[in-house]
Amino acid sequence: MFVDKVRIPYFSQFAMLAKITSKNQLTLPKIVTEAVGATEYFDVEARAGQIILTPVRIQRGDAVRAKLDALGLGEADIADAVRWARSTAPEPVLASEPAAAYGTTRGRTTAKSKAKPRK
């Protein structure tokens, strides 16, 4: 088997190979993943016969900003929405609890309500 080595400039002192599976899954060497830090996603690019993986750190704030941008909402829209949410709104009307139907039956007390006090 002939292996054509690809140079990795950051790790030139190590000969590393990664095998791609039949499902196009690639396991990266531990030393490589430790060098780039904890990340779950990579930006993938094919350039001049090489596969370039760039770590991407997605944060919730970034995702929210991207969604707002996709919806065409700007800072003024957000400020209006916050102002509306903070405006005085009428107090919500809560339903009252139904009257308790236990303990009495047609004006008479039940056996449970006649329990003897503990000594």
Q: From CA 62, how far away is CA 69, in angstroms rounded?
A: 10
| Residue ranges of domains in the chain | 9-55
Q: From CA 42, how far away is CA 115, in angstroms rounded?
A: 70
Helix extents (H) in the chain:
30-36, 60-71, 75-86
pTM: 0.39
Q: Based on the number of CB atoms within 10 Å of its own CB, is 78 exposed (0-12), middle (13-18) or buried (19 or more)?
A: exposed
Place of tokens 């904890």: 38
Note the pLDDT tens digit of each residue in 57-101: 777 788 888 889 999 999 999 899 888 888 876 676 777 776 666
Name which of 26-30, 38-42, 81-85, 103-107 the model is least confident about: 103-107
Place of tokens 């009257």: 99
